[in-house]
Amino acid sequence: MIRLALLVCLTACVFATAARAAAPAPTTRPNVLFIICDDLTTTAIGCYGNKVCKTPNIDRLASMGVRFEHAYCNWPLCLPSRNSFLAGRRPDAKYSAAGLLRERVPDVEFLPEHFRKNGYFTARVGKLFHTRTVFAGLPIKTLEDPACWDVSEVGGTDIDPCGYSVLFSSIPKGLESHPELQKITVEHELLNKAGQPAYDYWMEMAKLDVSDEQCVDGNIAARITQLMEERSKPSDGKPFFLAAGFRRPHLLWVAPKKYFDLYDWHAMELPREPADDLDDIPKIALTRRAPNMTDEQRKKAIAAYYACVTEADTQVGKLLDAMDRLKLWESTIVLFTSDHGWHLDEHGMWGKVSLFEESARIPLIMVVPGMTRDAQSPRTVEMIDFFPTLCELAGLSLPPKLDGASIAPQLRDPSASRDKPAIAVVRHGKTWGKAVYTERYRYTEWGDDASKGVELYDHANDPKEYTNLAKHPTAEQTAMMKEMKAILDREVHVKDGDVASPSGD
């Protein structure tokens, strides 16, 4: 069922040719509104099946375009995921380095940089490339590449200059040392710690008595709306590539109180997993678990995460309202996504850097003028496909080195065939995990030559990945694993011990 090997290259070449042949004149190029949330898992989104968390605006966007059921990040961690999709290349250790990616990959041409070179006005507000200082304190160190943007703004506010709400943290004594912030904090709670491998961090929440616009995401929505107004009738004739990088639901879970009021923590449901769930999972695959967390803390964490999802969703809605008001739908491509997912206690995990569905899978909704509306595509997509897709839709030629392949055929016909899997990598300490995702299966290897474990899950029969079939595979599954291993050997070039620098959040 896979038949992927040659098709990846063939498809990319065919699409590149098609993009050149179909290139419209520059004046008719579409605008791009690129919306990305931070750490937003599909499992919290209404149109992806969540019945509790309120995401009416993301759901509304989905009804206007194509929602991809099997979209995956290429590395479930902020810094390397963003470096990778913005470069359009499959990541290795260099993509998690602390500095600008261009310093380590000099021939890179980034997605917004490519649009800018091709006559677009480009702007970002918020987090597109990674922004450091999650827990290291101020000042902010942005990793935005200067060649990418005509306008480049963090989107910070007085109460949250860097966007991670670190001033509201009680570690180490952040909030305590800010009496002015204590005054606007209605309720604050330090929940529990999630930990190794990777690193330990605290889950912390604060309900604020402030307006949306005093928070970073509200500010980002207002500023992007302003840019949409200014660029909807540009005097220079340039189409726009506007990127809104919302910060929630990334920790810290800080938002206006009204969003927390939507969720009674007592009513949150915890995952109900088989007692022996962990027995067949390689130990190295499990990360950021919080075994000492009480059920009350777990439920409060889910409620706080949902509050921050709805906060981000509300800001997305403001951009969609601006699209309506400015009548931009006929001239603008909208892409909505997240840099990776997040665990909400599945297999006892809290956070990212896991290759399980909740962490590696991403939301992906695309609304493209003249293309399919209100549909889902079951085809497998990865974030490195964004670059060639947007180029094809905008009629731009492709830079020479891209690893993805356009999904424009699936935007025209969501059921159009596509024999290309998604691949994600992650590093736990010095050990790499490598995974192939098809529409039905996930195959994962840990360590060089799979020395630290192998996993195979059948999502058709086991969507929550409770049974690792690699322990006792059938003959058919053994053959399939061999084929998937060959894909990893060909496409992924990492070795245990490859460590560029401490990885970014």
Q: Is residue 358 at the binding interface for Ca ion, with CB under 5 A as the rule? A: no
Min separation Cβ 287 and Ca ion, Å: 15
The SS3 call for residue 462 is coil
Min separation Cβ 344 and Ca ion, Å: 15
Complex with Ca ion: residue 79 or 322, whichever CB lies closer: 79
* Residues 110, 82: Cα–Cα separation, whole Å: 11
The SS3 call for residue 263 is coil
Instruction: Residue 443: count other Cβ atoms within 10 Å of its Cβ.
Output: 26
Complex with Ca ion: residue 467 or 503, whichever CB lies closer: 503
Residue with tokens 């909740």: 358
Min separation Cβ 38 and Ca ion, Å: 4
Residues 296-355 that bind Ca ion (CB under 5 A): 339
123 sits in which H/E element: strand 121-126
Min separation Cβ 76 and Ca ion, Å: 8
Sheet holding 364-367: strands in order across? 151-153, 121-126, 240-245, 31-37, 332-338, 364-367, 66-72, 375-382
Q: Residue 380: beta bridge partners?
A: 70
Min separation Cβ 82 and Ca ion, Å: 8
Helix, strand, coil percentages for the chain (3-state, nearest 5)? 35, 20, 40
Min separation Cβ 127 and Ca ion, Å: 8
Complex with Ca ion: residue 78 or 365, whichever CB lies closer: 78
Cβ within 8 Å of residue 312, ≥6 positions away: 37, 40, 217, 246, 247, 248, 249
Residues 1-40 that bind Ca ion (CB under 5 A): 38-39
Q: How many helices (H) and strands (E) does the chain have?
A: 12, 19
* Residues 65, 376: Cα–Cα separation, whole Å: 8
Range list of H helices, 22-156: 56-64, 78-87, 111-117
Complex with Ca ion: residue 242 or 353, whichever CB lies closer: 353
Complex with Ca ion: residue 352 or 418, whichever CB lies closer: 352
Q: Is residue 78 at the binding interface for Ca ion, with CB under 5 A as the rule? A: yes
Complex with Ca ion: residue 78 or 243, whichever CB lies closer: 78
> Residues 257-276: x/- map of binding to Ca ion (CB under 5 A)?
--------------------
Min separation Cβ 499 and Ca ion, Å: 20
Min separation Cβ 316 and Ca ion, Å: 16
Complex with Ca ion: residue 78 or 198, whichever CB lies closer: 78
* Residues 289, 194: Cα–Cα separation, whole Å: 5
Whether residue 471 contacts residue 280, with contact meaning beta carbons closer than 8 Å, is answered with: yes
Complex with Ca ion: residue 228 or 316, whichever CB lies closer: 316
Min separation Cβ 427 and Ca ion, Å: 16
Query: Looking at beta carbons, which residue is closest to Ca ion?
Result: 78
For the chain, the C-alpha Rg in angstroms (whole number) is: 22
Complex with Ca ion: residue 36 or 469, whichever CB lies closer: 36
Q: Which amino acid is at 67?
A: R
Q: Is residue 144 at the binding interface for Ca ion, with CB under 5 A as the rule? A: no
> Residues 35-74: x/- map of binding to Ca ion (CB under 5 A)?
---xx-----------------------------------
Q: By the criterion CB under 5 A, which residues form the site for Ca ion?
A: 38-39, 78, 339
